[in-house]
Amino acid sequence: MVVGATRRHPGALLSALFLVSHAAPAGVLPEDRADAMYHSYDGGGVDVSGPSYLVRKGDGKRFSASVNYYVDSISSASIDVLTQGSPYNEQRTQWTGSVDYIHADTTMTAGYSNSDESDYQSDTYNFSISQAMFGDLTTVTLGYSYGDDDVSSNVDSSFERSAEHRNYHVSLTQVLTKNLLLSLNYDAITDEGFLHSPYRKVRVQNDPLDPSAGWNFNTPETYPNTRTSNAVSANFIYYLPYRAAVKAGYRYYTDDWDIDAHNVEVGYVHPLWDRWIVEFNYRYYQQDQADFYSDLFQFPDQQNFMARDKELSKFKDQTLGVALSYDLFEDGWGYLDKATLNVKYSRIWFDYDNYSDARQANAPGYDFTADLFQLFASVWY
Amino acid sequence: MNTMLKTIRKAVRTAIMGSLLVAGTAYADIDAGPAPDFTLKSQTGENLRLSEFRGEVVMINFWASWCAPCRQEMPLLDELYQQYQPLGFTILGVNVEEDSTKARQMLKKLPVNFPVLFDNKSNVSKLYNVVAMPSTVLVDRDGNIRYLHQGYKPGYEESYQQQVRELIRE
Amino acid sequence: MNYQGILIALTLLLLGGCSQVEPWVKPYERAHLADPVMSFSRDPVADGYISHIYQVREGARGAEGGHGGGCGCN
C-alpha cells in the first residue's frame, strides 16, 4: 500500500519525495507447525483414547492452511450404559481443515470439519474475521459457524433425525500493559432439531406414590427441539518479572433450558533452566440443572420434556493439571526451527448433586474421577 | 432471547462491514524532512552518530530479538549491505530492547557485517516515532528521510534494493 | 430498551471512531508480550482436546479460552 502523506511540509519537494512504501499495521500469519498427539481419557467407566495430528503450512506472506486428523476410540461402560444397556466399543473420526488469509491488518479464516461415528455424522462450516487496531493493541474477532448433524441409532436402523447448530462469536483481545493481556469472549449458540441421545431413558418410579417400590428405565427421554445459549468469558495473562506467567479466567454460561454455569480457571507457567516449561492449572466448574431434568420421575408422562442426562444435572467438577514441555534443540536443527516434547496430565473430580448411582437399590449420589493424559511432539519449520 | 440474538446478528454483520472499512488505515507517523540525529553505542563498544554518515545512503532498521519478521529480514539486509557498501551505503541496525542480552546472543549465532546499535532507553525509537516492528527508514546522502517500510514480509527486500540503488545514484 | 441501536453504536464506535488513540504500549516495548509463555494457547492441539472433553462432559459450551496478544509485528 502506497501512501505519500505527511503532517509537516518542510518543503513541497521533500514532501513529494517521501514515500511510505509499506504501511503498518499488517498481520502475522500463524506459525508453520506440525503436532502429533496421543490423548487418553479414563473415568466413570469410559475409556477414550486416540491420536490427533495437525499440520500447518503457509506461504509466509498471505495464506496459511491447516489440517487436523483426530480419532476417539471409545470403550464405554459408563454408568448410563451399565444401568440402561450394555458396554460398547466405538470409534469417532474427525477431519478438520482451515485456511487463513491476511490482508493488511485483517485476517480471514474459513474452515470445515467433519465428524463421523456409527450413529452420528456432523459437518461444520466456520468463517471468522479478525481485525487488529490501535497500534495492534486491540484485536477484534467476529465469527460464525454452522453445523449440520445426522443422528441415527445403532439399535434401530430406521431411526433418522437431524440437528442444526449456529454459533455467533465475538472476541476482543486487549493489551492492557507491557505485561498484561486481556481476552474477552462471547458465544451465542442456537441448536435446532434432535438434541439428545436416542438411547437414553429416564428413571421412573414403578409406583408413583411409593418410592420404595423401585424404578424402571422404560421411558425414553424427550427434549425440546431448540436450545439457545449465551456464554461470556474474561481471561487474563500476566507476565511475572522473573520470566513466568500467571493466567486467570472466568466464564458465565446461561441457556433457555435453565442451565446456568460458572467456571473459573487459574494457571501458572514457569520456564525452567533453558529448555523446560512447566505449567500448573486448576479449574472449578459448577452448573445448575436443566428445568426438565430429574434423577427420578414419578410418572412416565410427568412432563412434556424429561431428561436424565447427568450432563444436564446440578453438579460441579474440579480439575488439577500439570504439563511439562521440553525444547529439543536450542536453536533448531536443519529445516526445523524448533521441536518440543510434551506431556500433560489432568485429573477431573466430578460430583453430582442430583444424579444417582442407579446400580444400587438406594441410589446414592454419584461421583467419579477422570484421568486425562496427553503426550505429544511438536515441530516448527 | 430471540430478539437479542437477532440484534447480535445485525451487530455482527455491521461490525464486519465496519471493520473492512477501517482495514485500510495507514500509519504515516514519521515525517519527511531531515532524519533526526542521534548517537548510540554500537556492538563494538564505540559510539556512532548518524550525522557522521552524511554523504552516504543510510538505512536505519529497528529490530528486536523477539520479533520473528525482524529475524527473517536481517540476513537479507546483510546481503544488501555487502553488495552496496562499497558504493556509499550503510545500514544501522538499531536494536530496541531494554536488555541487550538476547540481542547479543542472537548476533553471536547470526552475525551481521553492518553496525548494530543498542537503543536501551528507547530514545531513538521515540525520536523516529516507531509504530511497527520492524521499521526500516532510508535516508539519502543529504540526510533526509526518503522511504519508510513498516513491518516485513518476504518480497520487501526487492523494494529495499530498488530504493537503495536509486538513492546511491543521486 | 433498544439493545439493537446500542449494540450497533458500540460496535461502530469501537471500530471506527477511536483511531486517534495513541498506543500506550509501543511496538518496541512488546518483548514480554511476544514471549511464548505469554501465549493464551501455546499448543492448539492440546487445548482443543481439553475444550472438547469439557464440552462433552458438561452442559456449558462457548466462550472458552483466550486468543491473541503476541509481538504485534508487521
Measured CA to CA, the distance from residue C36 to residue A327 in angstroms comes to 12
Cell of C46: 492440546
The string of pLDDT tens digits covering residues B29-38 is 566 789 999 9
A213: how many CB neighbours lie within 10 A of its CB?
10
Query: What is d(CA A275, CA A154) in angstroms, rounded to the nearest whole number?
Result: 49
Amino acid A108: pLDDT: 95
Is the pLDDT score of A131 beyond 70? yes
Reduce the secondary structure of B70-90 to three states and give it as a string: HHHHHHHHHHHHHHHHHHCEE
| B132: chain A residues, CB-CB within 8 Å | 24-25
Residue of A171, A178, A232, A324 to mutate, interface with C, max C Cβ within 10 Å: A178
Predicted pLDDT of residue A103: 87
Identify the closest residue of chain A to C74 by CA–CA distance.
A26
Q: Which residues pair with A377 in a beta bridge?
A: A36, A341
Looking at residue A87, its pLDDT comes to: 87
| pLDDT tops 80 at residue C24 | yes
Average pLDDT rounded to a whole number, residues A9-13 = 50
ipTM of the complex: 0.90
pLDDT at A380: 94
Is B52 inside a domain boundary?
yes
At A57 the pLDDT is 96
Burial of A198 (0-12, 13-18, 19+ CB in 10 A): middle
Q: What is the reported pLDDT for B33?
A: 84
Lowest mean pLDDT among A3-17, A42-56, A306-320, B100-114: A3-17
User: What's the CATH code of the domain at B90?
Assistant: 3.40.30.10
Does residue A53 surpass a pLDDT of 80? yes
Q: Which chains touch A (3 or more CB pairs under 8 A)?
A: B, C
The pLDDT of residue C61 is: 93
User: CB-CB: which of A185, A239, A312 is closest to C63?
Assistant: A185
Residue B83's pLDDT is 95
Q: Which residues of B touch C19 (CB under 8 A)?
A: 22, 25
In this complex, the residue of C3, C12, C31 whose CB is nearest that of residue B4 is C3
Residue B26 pLDDT > 60, yes or no? Answer: no
Tell me, what's the pLDDT at B24?
36
**pLDDT of A201 higher than 50:** yes
> B2 lies in a domain?
no
Q: Which residue of A has its CA nearest to C16?
A: A133
Q: Is B5 on the interface with A (CB under 8 A)?
A: yes
* Highest mean predicted confidence (pLDDT) among A25-39, A78-92, B54-68: B54-68
pLDDT of residue B122 exceeding 60, the answer is yes
Which residues contact residue A143 at a Cβ distance below 8 angstroms, ignoring those fewer than 6 apart? A109, A126, A127, A128, A129, A167, A168, A169, A170, A171
**Integer angstrom CA distances of residue B20 from A70, A319, B123, C15, C72:** 35, 41, 35, 10, 19
- Chain B nearest-CA distance from C56, in A, is 24
Q: Which residues of B touch C27 (CB under 8 A)?
A: 130-133, 135
Average pLDDT, chain C: 78
Of the candidates C7, C28, C34, the beta carbon closest to that of B8 is on: C7
User: Tell me: the pLDDT tens digits for B136-165?
Assistant: 999 999 999 999 999 898 889 999 999 999
Task: Please provide the average confidence, as pLDDT, over all residues in chain B.
Answer: 86
Measure the CA–CA gap between B148 and B139, rounded to whole angstroms.
9
A33-44 mean pLDDT: 96
Which residues of chain A neighbour B30 with C-beta distances below 8 Å?
20
Would you place residue A25 in the very low, low, confident or very high pLDDT band (cuts 50, 70, 90)?
low
Average pLDDT over residues A229-252: 96
How many structural domains does chain B have? 1
β B144-150/A19-22 pair status: parallel
Q: Is B4 a domain residue?
A: no
- Find the mean pLDDT for residues B61-87: 93
Type of residue found at A143: G
C-alpha cell, A69: 486428523
Query: In this predicted structure, which of A166-180, A251-265, A354-368 has the lowest mean pLDDT?
Result: A354-368
CB contact under 8 A, B150 and A25: yes
Q: CB distance A140–B19 less than 8 Å?
A: yes
Q: Measured between alpha carbons, how far is A43 from A1 in angstroms, rounded to an integer?
A: 56
* Domain boundaries, position B49: 33-169
Least confident window among A85-89, A323-327, B71-75: A85-89
Residues in chain C: 74
CB contact under 8 A, B134 and C73: yes
What's the average model confidence in pLDDT over A138-149? 94
| A30-380 is a CATH 2.40.160 domain | yes
- CB neighbours (10 Å) of residue B39? 13
pLDDT at A22: 73
Cβ atoms of residues A329 and A336 within 8 Å = yes
Q: For chain B, which residues lie within 8 Å of any Cβ of chain C, measuring from their own Cβ?
A: 3-4, 6-8, 10-11, 14-15, 18-19, 21-22, 25, 62, 64, 66-70, 96-98, 119, 122, 125-126, 130-135, 150-153
Cβ–Cβ below 8 Å for B18 and C15: yes
pTM beyond 0.90: the answer is no
**Residue A7: per-residue pLDDT:** 37
Q: Would you state the pLDDT for residue A359?
A: 87
Amino acid C1: pLDDT: 46
Q: Which of A342, A289, A346 is nearest to A313 (CA)?
A: A289
- Identify whether the C-beta of residue A166 lies closer than 8 Å to the C-beta of residue A198: no
Instruction: Tell me: pLDDT of A26 over 70.
Output: no
CA distance C45 to chain A (A): 7
Minimal-distance CA residue of chain A relative to B5 = A188
